[in-house]
């Protein structure tokens, strides 16, 4: 079965499998009633969470990666598994058939209304979209364009008790030509379109520059807009409140870095438990590791929230590094999103995403022999390096330190030369180990590309001519994103590539690690790699 068609169908099965595969490199639950931050040491940027009964569901920015809009599930806000995607392919389909780095899905809001789950997100080039479903583990409806426009980002709906509905959002200066302001617009009750121009409800230029990331709530007669300000890596969590959805709004800073090492703690979700506790899920930008996910206790005083701990009692909290777990009624288990993949099921794991909308010929899961077959695909004619390659199969960095090893067999097409299959650490600069078909056999190369985003060429070093076509490729990632590549032809002794590479972020995302299979020429057939497994561990 083609990989393209499998983005949603196997979510419940994958959910069960993932609970059996605890991460070896990062577990937030300490097993003694406490947790450590981050709860997810992975790039789930701009997280938002909704609770329905005993179940918590999270979504996050996915930008150009496909499938998009990840759906994570938890019973206690600490232990999360990746269970589905709400967006099997990016729309418009043709636009996202090639890499659109940093574009696509920005800052979603997930809500539950009238028996259905809704996700709203802003695409900075096309407008505000919405998808919905009655079953978050199943298929989501086709996207609806709620409002077309440039630079409309970070939307959040609110359905009021009086039968009126609203949508808040911010603006991306790069497209809209304005930024640091928030608006609230009327929306139809179905949530499918805005019905008016709305009002500018907050201007952050003076004290809260780059205010964005709206989350819209109502509590005790107050309308609240939770919004980060001050910049991704340096900002704080702003709270606005008013008795009227269109303002005027009072302001309060509920969370800032304080005396902690947690820079820019903001943008996320206020969520309560079925036991009456309040919590805040947010991100922290850590460069090559992306925007990792933290959990803060939250308390209300005089109808203002304070997040984290507040040692000086001024109402502005600072992040906790370790804390007691939330009280919930459900039975919970220690769990983490999947990282390793044995490729033994009917589909690949949900941790994998492509760099663009996939074609059906790129990859096939072969459960009969427990391997993933990657066919080499021709690079676009205008590609300067792998930054422009759509068929990179990647996953997020899962911890500050980890080792990834993959085992594969390369079968080149004898009519072609220069086919490559390999293991890559991808960002705005990248490095990889790859098997390449040549005139006299298969060669192993170490390749790096600095400033790939701006079209700089690759630098290649030939390491060996292989005796066969089976190899294990490995990358060890140490603190600071220092990557050391090595390879083995017998699965026991590994030979170092002899150089190190420092991982860097992608466009608004962290670095990723994964697989690729490419060629530069065209014929009516292709070589391929059979990937036996891909494992993430401490060594």
Q: What is the DSSP letter of 17?
A: H
How far apart are the two ends of the chain, measured CA to CA in Å? Answer: 33
Q: Are 280 and 307 in contact (CB under 8 A)?
A: yes
Q: Is 451 a catalytic residue?
A: no
Nearest to 494, CA basis, from 401, 405, 409, 400:
405
Q: Which of 212, 339, 341, 530 is catalytic?
A: 212
Element (H, E) at 48: strand 48-52
Pairing of β 512-519 and β 377-378:
parallel
Q: Is 46 a catalytic residue?
A: yes
253's tokens: 């800073």
Q: Determine if the peptide bond prior to 151 is cis (ω within 30°).
A: no
Q: Are 421 and 376 in contact (CB under 8 A)?
A: yes
The residues near 454 (Cβ < 8 Å, ≥ 6 apart) are none
Q: Which residues is 298 bridged to in the sheet?
A: 278, 307
439's tokens: 């005139």
Q: Which of 46, 419, 530, 532 is catalytic?
A: 46
Q: Are 41 and 24 in contact (CB under 8 A)?
A: no
Q: Are 498 and 445 in contact (CB under 8 A)?
A: no
Nearest to 408, CA basis, from 537, 535, 529, 526:
529
Q: Are 326 and 78 in contact (CB under 8 A)?
A: yes
The whole-angstrom separation of Cα 236 and Cα 251 is 12
Q: Which residues is 183 bridged to in the sheet?
A: 169, 200
The whole-angstrom separation of Cα 120 and Cα 71 is 13
226's tokens: 């939770």
425 three-class SS: strand
The whole-angstrom separation of Cα 170 and Cα 471 is 49
Q: Which residues is 269 bridged to in the sheet?
A: 281
92 three-class SS: coil
414 three-class SS: coil
- What values do phi and psi take at 520, rounded to 5? -110, -10
Cα 266 to chain centroid, rounded: 16
CB atoms within 10 A of CB 92: 14
Q: Active-site residues: which are they? A: 46, 212
């Amino acid at each position: 079965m083609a990989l393209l068609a499998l983005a949603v169908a196997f979510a419940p099965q994958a959910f069960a499998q993932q609970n059996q595969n605890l991460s070896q490199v990062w577990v937030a639950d300490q097993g003694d009633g406490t947790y450590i931050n981050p709860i997810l040491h992975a790039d789930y940027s701009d997280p938002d969470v909704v609770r329905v009964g005993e179940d918590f569901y999270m979504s996050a920015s996915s930008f150009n990666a496909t499938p998009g809009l990840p759906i994570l599930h938890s019973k206690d806000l600490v232990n999360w598994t990746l269970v589905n995607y709400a967006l099997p392919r990016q729309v418009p389909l043709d636009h996202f058939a090639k890499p659109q780095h940093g574009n696509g899905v920005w800052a979603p809001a997930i809500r539950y209304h009238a028996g259905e789950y809704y996700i709203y997100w802003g695409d900075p080039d096309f407008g505000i979209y919405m998808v919905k479903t009655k079953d978050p583990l199943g298929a989501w409806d086709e996207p609806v364009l709620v409002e077309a426009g440039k630079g409309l980002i970070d939307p959040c709906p609110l359905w009021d008790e009086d039968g009126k509905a609203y949508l808040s959002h911010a603006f991306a200066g790069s497209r809209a030509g304005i930024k640091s302001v928030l608006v609230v617009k009327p929306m139809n009750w179905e949530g499918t379109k805005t019905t008016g121009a709305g009002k500018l409800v907050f201007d952050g230029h003076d004290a809260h520059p780059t205010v964005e990331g709206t989350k819209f709530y109502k509590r005790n007669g107050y309308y609240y807009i939770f919004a980060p300000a001050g910049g991704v890596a340096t900002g704080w969590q702003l709270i606005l409140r008013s008795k009227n959805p269109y303002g005027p709004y009072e302001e309060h800073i509920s969370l800032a870095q304080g005396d902690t090492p947690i820079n820019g703690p903001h943008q996320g979700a206020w969520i309560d438990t079925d036991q009456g506790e309040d919590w805040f899920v947010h991100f922290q930008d850590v460069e090559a590791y992306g925007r990792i996910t933290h959990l803060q206790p939250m308390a209300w005083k005089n109808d203002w929230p304070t997040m984290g701990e507040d040692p000086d009692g001024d109402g502005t909290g600072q992040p906790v590094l370790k804390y007691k777990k939330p009280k919930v009624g459900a039975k919970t288990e220690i769990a983490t999103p999947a990282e390793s993949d044995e490729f033994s099921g009917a589909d690949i794991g949900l941790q994998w995403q492509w760099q663009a909308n996939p074609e059906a010929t790129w990859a096939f899961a072969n459960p009969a022999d427990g391997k993933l077959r990657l066919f080499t695909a021709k690079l676009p004619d205008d590609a300067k390096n792998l930054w422009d390659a759509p068929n990179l199969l990647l996953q997020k960095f899962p911890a500050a330190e980890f080792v990834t090893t993959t085992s594969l067999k390369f079968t080149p097409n004898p009519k072609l030369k220069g086919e490559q299959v390999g293991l890559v650490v991808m960002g705005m600069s990248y490095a990889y180990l790859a098997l390449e078909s040549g005139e006299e056999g298969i060669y192993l190369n170490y390749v790096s590309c600095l400033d790939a985003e701006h079209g700089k060429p690759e630098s290649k070093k030939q390491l060996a001519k292989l005796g066969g076509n089976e190899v294990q490729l490995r990358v060890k990632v140490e603190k600071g994103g220092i990557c050391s590549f090595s390879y083995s032809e017998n699965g026991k002794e590994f030979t170092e590539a002899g150089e190190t590479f420092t991982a860097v972020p992608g466009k608004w995302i962290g670095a990723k690690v994964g697989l690729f299979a490419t060629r530069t020429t065209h014929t009516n057939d292709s070589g391929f790699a059979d990937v036996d497994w891909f494992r993430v561990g401490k060594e």
